[in-house]
């Protein structure tokens, strides 16, 4: 009988020790994996923010349609000025500006160009594919649709919302917000820890996930991790 009791006590001690260790290790593992995943999610949100800003630069508004944003990045062109040469301090002191120098070079008068010391001065406008301008080879036309897919989400897309009618001090200020909840990229982790993370965010009046921008008020297109 004493042997049985000792065995049962031993099992109970091992079980309690496991519970204690697990109660410490599980939250640490969850937070570690959460941090790793959020690094990738944030990277996507930063890329989407860049695309939205370029969309607005061309159309004067933001888009709430993820497919429209992808098509824009895939097909749009970015005007860039290719620069060769720079004005010297003396040229600037003599009243020569970039705009004046460009006009002189465009006129093509060799004598005028030489007289102003602009032989090596060039300012050419070139059209660069938007996908190349923004992502420098990180995406291609074939995989750019991945831009709006949330990492670790099994294919879920980011949520987008816009407020192109926001006005402050009689000045229209288009707003956008891109977000994804914890559930989208942490759903396969410990369920209780996920519930705890959402509960903490709600109690702190924060969005339970990651987002960039705001459709409520201007926030300089900041992310909630910044």
Burial class for 142, CB neighbours closer than 10 Å (0-12, 13-18, 19+): exposed
Q: Identify which of 73, 65, 52, 27 has the alpha carbon closest to the alpha carbon of residue 190.
A: 27
Q: In what order do the strands lie in the sheet with 159-163?
A: 159-163, 175-181, 209-213
Average pLDDT over residues 81-99: 86
pLDDT at 25: 66
DSSP state of 123: E
Q: What percent of the residues of the chain are helix, what percent strand, and what percent coil, each to the nearest 5? A: 50, 20, 30
Top pLDDT among 129 and 5 is at 129
9 three-state secondary structure: helix
pTM: 0.78
- What is the overall mean pLDDT for the chain? 88
Q: Which of 60, 11, 9, 43 is nearest to 185 (CA)?
A: 43
Q: What is the pLDDT of residue 21?
A: 47
Q: What angle do CA 105, 107, 112 make, to 5 degrees?
A: 65
- Asked if residue 11 has pLDDT above 70, the reply is no
* Six token digits for residue 201: 């965010």
């Amino acid at each position: 009988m004493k042997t049985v009791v000792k065995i049962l006590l031993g099992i109970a001690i091992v079980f309690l020790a496991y519970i204690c260790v697990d109660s410490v290790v599980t939250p640490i593992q969850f937070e570690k994996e959460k941090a790793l995943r959020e690094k990738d999610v944030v990277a996507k949100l930063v890329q989407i923010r860049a695309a939205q800003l370029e969309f607005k630069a061309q159309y004067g508004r933001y888009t709430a349609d993820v497919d429209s944003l992808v098509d824009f990045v895939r097909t749009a062109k970015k005007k860039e000025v290719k620069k060769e040469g720079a004005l010297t301090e003396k040229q600037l002191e003599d009243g020569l500006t970039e705009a004046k120098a460009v006009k002189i070079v465009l006129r093509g008068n060799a004598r005028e160009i030489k007289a102003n010391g602009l032989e090596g001065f060039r300012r050419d406008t070139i059209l660069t594919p938007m996908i190349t301008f923004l992502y420098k080879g990180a995406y291609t036309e074939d995989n750019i649709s991945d831009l709006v897919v949330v990492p670790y989400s099994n294919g879920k897309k980011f949520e987008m919302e816009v407020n192109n009618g926001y006005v402050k001090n009689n000045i229209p200020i288009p707003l956008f917000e891109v977000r994804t909840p914890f559930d989208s990229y942490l759903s396969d982790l410990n369920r209780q820890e996920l519930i705890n993370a959402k509960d903490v965010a709600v109690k702190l009046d924060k969005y339970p996930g990651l987002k960039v921008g705001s459709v409520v008020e201007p926030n300089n297109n900041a992310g909630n991790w910044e």
